[in-house]
Structure formats: C-alpha cells, structure tokens
Chains A and B, each alone.
Chain A
Amino acid sequence: MNDVLDVALRLVAVLVVFLTFPLVVGQTEHKVMAHMQGRLGPMYAGGFHGWAQLVADGVKFAQKEDVVPANADRRIFQLAPAVALLPYLLVLIAIPVGPHGFVGQAIDAGLFFVLAVMGVGVLGSLMAGWASANKFSLLGGLRTAAQLMAYELPMLLAAASVAMAAGTLSLPGIVEAYHWWWTPWQIIGAVVFFTAGLAELQRPPFDMPVADSEIIFGAYTEYTGLRFALFLLAEYAGIVVLCALTTVLFLGGWHGPWSDSVGWLWTLIKTFVLAFIVIWLRVTYPRMREDQLQKLAWTGLIPLALAQIALTGVVKVVIS
C-alpha cells in the first residue's frame, strides 16, 4: 500500500512540475525579453505585473475553434501535439532533483532513456508537418527533420562523454560521481550539448523550421486553439527538460554548499539560470539561415564533441 502511495505521490509531483515550470519559464521569457528590449511586457493580466498572462492566453486558446483542414490526415494531425508534448513529461520522471532518491524514478540506463525519449518529441513536429496538407507545414517539417538529423548526433556524443567520465548511464549515478573539476573538463561538451539541445527545441537562433517571415509557422501553421497551445507548451517544457538535463550532466545537479539538505534547491537554481540563458540567447541573436544551421552542426559541433570525447578518454586513462 505504501509503495502505491509513494509511486502515486512521485507521479503527481512530476505532473505538477510539468504543468507549472514551463509556465514559469514562459512568463520569465515574457518579462525578461521585454526588459531586454526596453519594454515592460505584460502588465495587466492578473493585476500585478501581468503575472497571469499565460493563464489568460490559455483561456483564450481553449475558447478557440479546433480546426482540422479538409485534406489533412485527420488522426495524425490530431495526435501530433500529444506526441510533441508527452515525451517531455516522461523525461521529467527520470531527472534527479536531489540526493537520496529525490527523483521520479531512478532508471539504470537513465541517460539513454532520456535522450531516446527526447528525440521522440521532435517526431510530433514531423507528424504535424506531414499531416497538415500545407506546403508551409511540409517545408517546416522537412527543416525540422534536417535539424534533428544534424543536431541529434553532437548531442549524443556530448552526453556520451559525460557517461564515459562517470562510468555509468544512470542520471543519479552521474551526479553522484560529479566533482567540481568536471565542469571545466567537460565544458566543451556542455556547450555542444546545450547548443544542440536548443537547436532540437527549435529555439531562436535555431528556429529556422518555424521561421515566420518565410514559412508562416512551419509545421504548426494549420493548428488552432488548444492543439496549437500544446505545441507552444511543448517548447517550454522542452526548455525545462534541456536545462535540467544540462544541469544534471554538466553542472553537478544538486552539488553545492549544504547539498544534503537543500540539494534540490541547487538543481532548481542551476536549471533556472540556464533557462534564463536560453531566453537571453533568443533575445540577442538573429535567426540563422538554413545552410548556416547545417554548417554549424556538421563542421562545428560534431568535431568539437568528438574532441571532447577524445579529451575525456585521455583524462580518464591518465587518472585511473
């Protein structure tokens, strides 16, 4: 009985995190982006500095008609938002927050599971692009596919470097094995992982698949109402997951002063600092062209990731 309660509690906690954190990141983006551009951002919804803006947006989206284009592949079209969103919920379960089993579910091959499931999220965009019966959606979907091909590889290589360093695929195990000098040691891998993750989430400056000035909104062009909102939510859930993963793999997760009692706080702080950087990058840099995007991945990130793996291997051999 206790076990059932324990599992239920953990799942509810993960669900609550999944429903609130993306909104917090989204609201932060509203405000941070506004102030970085010399604006104020939302000021009305909810009364105090527009804190309820995203709630208001959600209400608006829920009221809108759910339109499916006549020529669309109905089932796939309707399924795509769920495919885009749910993988991030699954990934959250495996991410350790604090020491002593403060994790939804510790998985032995956690790193493998997390990266595999995160890759599924992108399939939602591909399904949406193909099923919409719209040339802009199709173009967006193809760009998404090309981006997935290009950036999944450096991401996996960078993650593999950490797994080599820790000697385990378990996420809590990786954090357990962390020492402070890992961060400078794995810094190249961290940058590659974070950048590739951004590209996989199609966040600016890697938002070519949804470049609104060229192809309207890419794969999401035909979506309305709640399904569209789910795609947007998936983007922010993706930010949370990516930042949490980078924290766990490269920044030592719960490690920090008094980590025994407030370890979870360290994880949260590091995650949100990374989320801030995600927003900061979005505000600062213009969108990259499709060819620049591919060039960065194949001639920049992949060699760097390979160099990181070589470095990790050499250091590992030297210290053992």
Chain B
Amino acid sequence: MAQDKKKLPGSGLAKGLAVTLRTMTRRSVTAQYPDLQPELPPRSRGVIALFEENCTVCMLCARECPDWCIYIDSHKETMPAVAPGGRERSRNVLDRFAIDFSLCMYCGICIEVCPFDALFWSPEFEYAETDILELTHERDKLRDWMWTVPAPPPLDPGAEEPKELAAAQKSAEKVAAARAQEGDA
C-alpha cells in the first residue's frame, strides 16, 4: 500500500493503454497455417517413417512399444548356400508393418530401440482422418513418409564427435595397417 501512494492516480490506467498500443505496433503471432506451412524445429516429431530395407523383423520395436501399436507380420525364407557345400541361411521377410497412430503416443521408443536404423521421425503432420480406423497406416504409407525425413541437423559447435565416426576411423586404420603389412611382406 505504501508503494501505491507514491504513484500518480490513473497511472495504472495509462500503463494499460500503453500495453495495448505497444502490442498493436508489434507483429502479431498468428500462424496462418493452411496458407503458410509452419516452420518446424529440427527433430520435429510428426510421424514415424519406415525404411524397410533396414528392417530385419527383430520385433524389438513392437515389443518395446508401450501402446502395442506396431503390427508386424513376417515369414522365414531359406536362402541357398553362398559357397558350394555351405549351410543354407534363413532370412526374415517382412509381410506387414503397420502403426496405429490412434494409439501411438509419439514417445519415440521404437525409433530409439531399432538396432538397424529402420525407423525415423518425419516432420510430416497432416494425416488427420475422419475415421479412427483409417489412422492405422501400412508399410507403403510409412515408406512414403521416409522420403520426408530431413537430413540430421549438423552437430552443435564443440559437440562430442559421434561414436560412429570413431568406430569407422578405427576400422579404416586397421585395414590400412593390414594393407601396409601385406605390402611389406
């Protein structure tokens, strides 16, 4: 109360007028969405895309999914032996890969857990449907979204080097060392 006494009467009213006037001169924050696409931040979680060439049907994603919203069907195929007299190899072939986006809570655990980089975040978000059943998207749709996945953003300055780079460097050095030894011999 003591502070209030120092102020001029009506200064609060004037302050209010100043606030609205100042807001009027600033750019409004409205996003004109259907006319202008929003500028999404990097690593936006719009939808989950599938790069099925990398999928080995290990089922880790389906098992880790908290909502059980990933459906995978597959069968085994036997491949003829590579070398004569060798063992026949069996291979998993993907028959169905579907994600029910009416259940998905966009936690991204499936993408984290995939050991072969078959799942990616795509920033695509315009896939609303009028029927909830149509939100279950099959592999061809998930594959279409794969082409909307942006390249990973560059590392922050001063960031730690990614582990993949060190690993690749190491193996390259090994190969080079082996070659050098062969040359010596």
A38 near B19 with CB under 8 A, answer no
A280 near B30 with CB under 8 A, answer no
Report A-chain residues with C-beta under 8 Å of the C-beta of B20: 36, 280, 283-284
B24 near A36 with CB under 8 A, answer yes
* B contact face: mostly helix, strand, loop, or mixed: helix
Complex formed: what's the CA distance from A283 to B26 in Å? Answer: 16
For residue A294, give the distance in angstroms from its CB to the closest CB of chain B: 19
* Residue B17, interface by CB 8 Å: yes
Report B-chain residues with C-beta under 8 Å of the C-beta of A37: 23
Complex formed: what's the CA distance from A118 to B28 in Å? Answer: 38
Complex formed: what's the CA distance from A200 to B20 in Å? Answer: 24
A39 near B17 with CB under 8 A, answer no
* Residue B16, interface by CB 8 Å: yes
* Residue B166, interface by CB 8 Å: no
A35 near B24 with CB under 8 A, answer yes
Complex formed: what's the CA distance from A310 to B61 in Å? Answer: 86
When each residue 262-291 of chain A gets 1 if its CB lies under 8 Å from chain B and 0 otherwise, what string results? 000000000000000000110111000000
B17 near A280 with CB under 8 A, answer yes
A38 near B23 with CB under 8 A, answer yes
Interface size, chain A (Cβ < 8 Å)? 14
* A contact face: mostly helix, strand, loop, or mixed: helix
For residue B127, give the distance in angstroms from its CB to the closest CB of chain A: 25
* Residue B13, interface by CB 8 Å: yes
Report B-chain residues with C-beta under 8 Å of the C-beta of A296: none
Smallest Cβ-Cβ distance to B16: which chain A residue: A284
Interface residues of B in 1-59 (CB under 8 A from A): 13, 16-17, 19-21, 23-24, 26, 28-30, 32
B23 near A280 with CB under 8 A, answer no
* Residue A149, interface by CB 8 Å: no
Those 5 A-B pairs whose CB atoms lie nearest each other, nearest first: A40-B30, A36-B20, A35-B24, A36-B24, A284-B16
Binding site for A on B (CB under 8 A): 13, 16-17, 19-21, 23-24, 26, 28-30, 32
15 pairs, A vs B, C-beta closer than 8 Å: A34-B28, A35-B28, A36-B20, A38-B28, A38-B29, A38-B30, A40-B30, A40-B32, A280-B17, A280-B20, A281-B17, A283-B20, A284-B16, A285-B13, A285-B16
